[in-house]
Structure formats: C-alpha cells, structure tokens
Structure 1
Amino acid sequence: MYEMFDIRKKFMGAISTKEDWQIAEAVHEFVEEEVMPCRQDLEGGWHRDETLAHNTLEKILKGLVDLGLQKAFLPKEMGGLGITSAVTGYIIDYELSRGDIALWMIHPGLISWALYPALVSGRMDLVEELFKDKLLDDKPHKACVVITEPAGGVNIMDPSMHGQTITTTARLEGDEWVINGQKIWPCNSGDADIVYLTACTTDPKKGEEGIALVYVPPDTPGLSVGKRIEKMGLCMTDFNTEIFYEDVRVPKHYRVAGPGKDAEILHDLSAQARLFCSAQMTGAAEAVLEIVLNYTKERRIVKPVREHSLHASTIADMAIAIETSRAYGLQVAWMADHSEIYGRWGSPAMLARCSAAKVYTGDQALWVTNKATELMGSYGIAFDYNVEKYLRDVKVMQLVEAGQQRGRLDVALGFYQFGW
C-alpha cells in the first residue's frame, strides 16, 4: 500500500460522519478483495464469455447489496441508509471505479439518479410506490434514466436549448400520460427492473415549461428495447440499447413535479452525472497508476525502471494529474453539499463546476492510461495486465453525459449566457 493511496489521507478526511466513513472503507475493502481479482472476468475474459461476465457481475452486485449500497440513498425512515452527501457519494463512486468504472454507474449511481427527482420534489408517494420494495430487497435491481435521443443527442442536455430538441412527447389524456418517442444509449436501458425515468416534452414550443420527467415502470405496455449496442469499453457491464415508447400509458401522478420544476431537476441530473463521471475516471486512473508503479518496480534495466529519470518524471506527472483531479472533484462535491452558498446542482455556476470536473479529469485520466501503455510497452496493451481495459473504459466515460466538447461550452455558460 502506497501512503498516497490511503483512503483516509487521499480524501482529506472529507467525510464528516462516522457512519459514512465506515461505508466508504467497507467499499474500499470490498473492491480490493472481491473486484480486483476478477476484473477481467467482468468482460468475460479475452474471449468475451457472456456467461462468465454475467455471473461475475451478478456476484459483485450482490456484494454491493450486502454492503447496503442498493438502499444507500433511500431515506432512513424507509429503511435505507439515508446518504445525502455528494462528498460521500463521490468517494464511494471513486473507490468502486478503481475496480471497474461501471460498478457505480449501473447500480447505486443510477438508482440515486432516478430516485433524486422524487426525493427533491417531496414525492415520497412515488418513492414508496416505485422504489422502496426493490431497494430494500436482498437481490440486486437496476434503474434507468432516459434522456438522449437519436436525433437530438447531447443537445437535450444543453441548457441554452431549453428542451426544444426533445422529440419524445408526453400527452395528458384524462388521468394518464401517453408517451411516444424513441431514446438511445441510456445506461441500463436493456435490463432496468425498477423504473425508467423518462425526459419528455409536453410541447417543444413551451421550452423549459414543456419539459416533463415521468416515471415509467419496466413492464408498462408499449415500452420496448432494441438490441444491445456493442462498444469498445464497458462491454459486458453496461447494457445500452434503443428504447421505444409506443402509446405508453402511465398514471398522471407519475410525473415528478410539473412545468418548470421538471426542467430544473433535469439540469440537476446533468450536473450530478458529470461530477460523478469525474470520480469514476479519476478512480480508474488511480488503479492504472498502481499497476504502473508495481510493474516498473519489478521491470529492470540495471535497476528498477521506475528509478530512471524518464520513468520517474512520467510517473510523477501521472500522480499530479490524479491528485489535482481528485482535489477538484472533492471541492465541487463539497460545494454541492452547501447549496445554500453555491446554489442548486443545476444552476449555471454549479453545472459549470461539475462540467469542469468532468472535462478536466476526463482529459487527465485518458492521458494517464495512455502514458501507462507507453511505460509498460507491450504489457500495457496486454489483456492480462488490465491497463488496456481501463483505457477503453475511460474513453467511453469521456463521451458520457455530453462529452468533452459540450462540457466545455457549459463551463463557459457559467460565466455568460449565449445561444446557437
């Protein structure tokens, strides 16, 4: 164990409660003992054995349930752990992602993302009806947040577009919302069994007043998914598909908040996703640095290669990239925990900060993983050494939540407003 990787020291004692620290340390130990030894199996080995990948993932997800992460963000009065701190979530995300980037995203991350709108709107009736039983179950369950579309792409997340590019419609008929449209790429889109939180529009001409967030149970008639999209990274852990809504009918009260308020929540979700993407990529970069440190200690040219100045300087730059990425991510998470000072998640300034965290850490993590392949030579691209998997996964994460280019524009929007 390198002192700079010590969980208590690298996070600067950022977590304030004893209970949250216990959870974070339990996650760290779980990753070391249960995830690190089988990282390759999460992709089904070199030959992409789907059965091996599925069984490995299910075993790990069951472990996360046993740790309490499935109910982590459920209020205590409902039997959950009641975690509300962004800092705590950031650290759990970071530690899980050292083992595999997808673990936070497909399980506790997306559950918290789907649950947040109901919680922040005070819709405890929806939490009780749609979430509680499955989150308290001893088997793993998944949620899906459905935003992106084939045509609109990342423009749906562009705050300056005010929801005008959303084509999936929600029409109120009596006591039901009738949803029609097509979505693509959401995480867990092929296997969510809790709920599909769907971003729709009641009328694109109404802008943000027309944005609607509606919960759709997975067994609702008219809801269907397409074939799995094969990707360069997150190959067997995240199930991405097209999603089709054909006269999908759900009760009127499944809409989260209402005109204007749903748009605010959608901006909140975008900011949250970007911050937690940054935690994922930084955690992965740390795992890669540890691999490099161990490899360059054993690889010798007269002496361990990490003692040669070229290798030592590169390792130092990798460490600097990770240290600065983590420090800024924690700062933004702390700001999110103090909304009375810095504003709500989706405010222009906080969206800019969260976007900056994702853009910066994404660039740094990709640089770190790429440099690792150079320091390790042929072994850096060898499947058995894990670096090439982190490299592929980090590149995928750069593209999640609007990508690096859209993120940069949202940083600028934190300083001044402009349109297209």
Structure 2
Amino acid sequence: MDATDFAAVLSEARRFVRERVVPLEAEIDEKDEMPAEIREAAKQMGLYGFALPEEYGGLGLSMYEEAQLMFELGYTTPSLRSMFGTNNGIAGHVLMVGGTEEQKAEWLPKIASGDVLASFALTEPEAGSDPSTLTTRAHLEGDEWVINGAKRYITNAPLADMFMVFARTDPDARRTRGISTFLVPAGTPGLTVAPKDHKMGQFGAWTADVYFDDVRVPAAALVGGEDGLNRGFSTAMGCIAHGRVHISALMVGMAERLVDESVAYASTRKQSGKLIGSFQLVQGLIADSMTDYYAGRATVLEAARRFDSGEDTKIGPSCTKYFASEMVWRVADRAVQVHGGAGYMRGVAVERFYRDARLFRIYEGTSQIQQVIIAKALLGEVARG
C-alpha cells in the first residue's frame, strides 16, 4: 500500500472511531454488546483483514503500518478492536504462518472480508501463561481427527464461525513439541460454547469457554497438512509475537485518549474558585501521563520496525507489550486521580477505561511472563539455571 492510500486509511479510521464509535461507548459498556451497524461498517472499511495479504482480500499492512492504525482504533473502547483483532492477528496468522496453500485460499478471503469470524483456541484452565502444558488431545481415527478437551477465555467464541484449535497430537513428545493446530467450524458435533464470561471490563468483547467432546474433523483440517503435524506450538508463538506488538499499539491509543480526557477535565473543572489545571500537582499527573504515552508510542513503532525487518521478533514484542501494558495502567490510574470522585463514577469515560486497561497486563502473556521471556533471551542458559 502506498503512502497516499495508507494516509486515507488512517484518516477514515480516525473519523470512524471519533464520530461513530466514541458516542456509543457508554451504550456498548452498559449493554455488553457491539451494535450491528458498527460491525457492518468495520467490514466495509476492510478492518477484518487489514493485516492479511492483499492477494487474499486484505489490506496487506506491514507491522509498522498496523501499529499506526491501532493507535487510532485504540482511542475508543477496546471491544471495537476485539471484533476483528483475532481475524487479523492470532487466528488469521495461524493460516498465514502455518497453513497450506489450499487452506489459505479457502479461508483467508472469508476471514479478511469478515464473512468468517475466526477464534484462537489455545488457552486452557490449567494452561494459560504456559500453553505448552495444554491437555486438549487429538488422535487420528481412519481419515478423521478426534478432538477432546476444553479451552478457556476464548475471544469471540460465542460469535465465531471457525476455531483454530491447538491440541496435543503426540502425548509422548516434550511439552513444546507434539502440538498441532486444527480448523474446526462452529456447529461441528461435539463442540460446545459456554455462556459468555461476565468480566470486570472490556464489555462488548465476548469471551467464553469452549468444550470438545469427540469432535471429529477431516484429515484436511490439520493446519499445514502433514507438514504441520506437531508444529502447532511454534505456529502459536509466531502468531502471539505479532499479537503483542498489535495489542501494544492499541494500549498507546488508549493512553492518548486518557491524556485527552485528563486535559479536558483539568481545563474545565474548578476547585476553590480555580481551574484544577492551574494546580501544579495536577499538572504533574498529566505531565507524567503524557511522558508515558510518548515513550509508549516510540517503543511500539521501534518494535514494529524491527519486527518488519526480521531483526527482532521475540524480545521486542515482549518488551513493548510489557512496557505498554504497565504504562497504560499508570495513565489510567492518574486519569481517575485527576477526575477525583467523578473518576470513580460509572458513565465517566476514565472509569470505564480504568476497568478496561487492567486486562492488558494479563492477556497476550502476563507482565511476569514478558519479564521471563526477556530475561531468558538475554541471559540464555544463565537464566535457565
């Protein structure tokens, strides 16, 4: 995509977010549902496939371009991004990284258009931060794979048309080996989606547990075909690395919004006859948040640049995810503080963003997992004892 076309994409996304989605934020939070017209508009804009190759109907954005788009989309409720994030990210990239040409041709155009909503089924009740310990299993019977197990907190599960399911296919292999990925359509007999989770925040973004009870899929459902057997873990890690940069950019967009909300409130709210923005301690809170936002933006763009070049696809994504998630939490906390009692009230934007921001330090790998990844990458065998 050339610079002119990309500038138009960013401009359209900014207008869409600020004119159409921001006014609906309170309604989305209250009803825990994204309006159908917003979903349809996102499809028409190509947001379900911005990170997917143009040859399959996507926009083909680089990681650097994707980060800039996420800055814009992050300015509003994160449930907007959640609608199409898995199609572009961890679910769509399963096929991009590990799929056969036939699988890509069949599924990626439908995923890019939004006609198929894809879900990434990796996390389990006892395999979250360390997915290598997953216990969902698949074994071959004739020309069918039979899948049994359970997945937890699966994004878009109640709405998904297709699940990218990770299951252990070689029970005797080491933990990170012997895992494969399967394409499992919603409605396949034996596949059950539990009621949606009731979360602290990020309302409008639905997650749920998913159960597999003798779910049968054809041999062709194995992602990558025979070459993909027992390669699911490496596929997942490649998808997650991309997702960490992606979600970090979203957090930067939220931080920008929180700074704007803080500045607007401090410029209009009076205490003791003075605007609170004239108080130096309030100024300090806002200055710290702006500094955090500025550093987060620069960190994400650098990580995205190095990801595109192939210089760093491991430490950079973990560093930026770790920094951005802790950064936006600090900015959200300060925004509530600037608002005082009003910041604790439902219906006030910063209260909602405070709840929304808390999850970022957990999903896509907790802050503690990012610390371990970074340390092991730098220290090698020393860190491993």
Is structure 2 residue 53 aligned with structure 1 residue 75? yes
Task: Measure, in 2, the Cα distance between the counterparts of 1:222 and 1:277.
Answer: 32
Is structure 2 residue 153 aligned with structure 1 residue 175? no
Aligned to 2:28: 42
Aligned to 2:189: 221
Is structure 2 residue 335 aligned with structure 1 residue 372? yes
Cα distance, 1:81 vs. partner?
3.4
Task: Measure, in 2, the Cα distance between the counterparts of 1:121 and 1:153.
Answer: 22
Task: Measure, in 2, the Cα distance between the counterparts of 1:313 and 1:385.
Answer: 22
Query: 1:136-151 maps to which residues of 2 (within 5 A)?
Result: 136=113, 141-151=116-126
Task: Measure, in 1, the Cα distance between the counterparts of 2:101 and 2:287.
Answer: 49
Deviation per CA, 1:22-55: give whole Å up to 9, x if none: 21221111111101111111112xxxxx3xx53x
Distance 1:77 1:361, change over 3 A: closer
Letter of the aligned partner of 2:217 in structure 1? V
Match of 1:338 among 298, 309, 334: 309
Is structure 2 residue 356 aligned with structure 1 residue 393? yes
Distance 1:204 1:131, change over 3 A: same
Aligned residues: 378
Aligned to 2:368: 405
Aligned to 2:316: 353
Task: Measure, in 2, the Cα distance between the counterparts of 1:81 and 1:142.
Answer: 14
Task: Measure, in 1, the Cα distance between the counterparts of 2:113 and 2:72.
Answer: 23
Cα distance, 1:21 vs. partner?
2.3
Is structure 2 residue 292 aligned with structure 1 residue 321? yes
Is structure 2 residue 124 aligned with structure 1 residue 155? no
Query: 1:266-281 maps to which residues of 2 (within 5 A)?
Result: 266-281=236-251
Return 5+ residue gaps in structure 1 as ranges.
1-14, 45-49, 157-162, 343-349
Task: Measure, in 1, the Cα distance between the counterparts of 2:90 and 2:122.
Answer: 12
Is structure 2 residue 357 aligned with structure 1 residue 382? no
Moved over 4 A (4+): none
Letter of the aligned partner of 1:20 in structure 2? F
Distance 1:166 1:26, change over 3 A: same
Aligned to 1:211: 179
Helix, strand or coil at the partner of 2:213? strand
Kept in 2: contact 1:118–1:124 (CA 8 A): no
Aligned to 1:250: 217
Helix, strand or coil at the partner of 1:368? helix
Distance 1:374 1:167, change over 3 A: same
Aligned to 1:20: 6
Is structure 2 residue 44 aligned with structure 1 residue 58? no
Cα distance, 1:73 vs. partner?
3.6
> What RMSD in Å do the two structures reach over aligned CA positions?
2.1
Kept in 2: contact 1:352–1:413 (CA 8 A): no
Is structure 2 residue 234 aligned with structure 1 residue 264? yes
Letter of the aligned partner of 1:148 in structure 2? T
Letter of the aligned partner of 2:238 in structure 1? D
Q: Which moved more, 1:31-40 or 1:379-388?
A: 379-388
Letter of the aligned partner of 2:372 in structure 1? L
Task: Measure, in 1, the Cα distance between the counterparts of 2:359 and 2:99.
Answer: 34
Kept in 2: contact 1:24–1:88 (CA 8 A): no
Deviation per CA, 1:332-381: give whole Å up to 9, x if none: 11111111x33xxxxxxx32221111111111111111111111111112
Helix, strand or coil at the partner of 1:238? coil
Deviation per CA, 1:166-211: give whole Å up to 9, x if none: 1001112222221111110111122212x10011111243133311
Aligned to 2:89: 112
Distance 1:260 1:249, change over 3 A: closer
Q: Which moved more, 1:17-26 or 1:328-337?
A: 17-26
Match of 2:254 among 279, 284, 296: 284
Letter of the aligned partner of 1:96 in structure 2? L
Deviation per CA, 1:50-96: give whole Å up to 9, x if none: 3xx53x53221211112111233443334x23414111222222211
Return 5+ residue gaps in structure 2 as ranges.
none
Task: Measure, in 2, the Cα distance between the counterparts of 1:308 and 1:25.
Answer: 36
| Percent of pairs with identical residues | 26
Helix, strand or coil at the partner of 2:147? strand
Task: Measure, in 2, the Cα distance between the counterparts of 1:81 and 1:150.
Answer: 34
Aligned to 1:93: 70
Distance 1:135 1:269, change over 3 A: closer
Aligned to 1:304: 275
Aligned to 1:239: 206
Kept in 2: contact 1:107–1:141 (CA 8 A): no
Letter of the aligned partner of 1:121 in structure 2? G
Letter of the aligned partner of 1:338 in structure 2? S
Kept in 1: contact 2:90–2:236 (CA 8 A): no
Deviation per CA, 1:395-419: give whole Å up to 9, x if none: 0122112211112111112213355
Distance 1:221 1:131, change over 3 A: farther
Cα distance, 1:260 vs. partner?
5.5
TM-score normalised to structure 2 length: 0.92
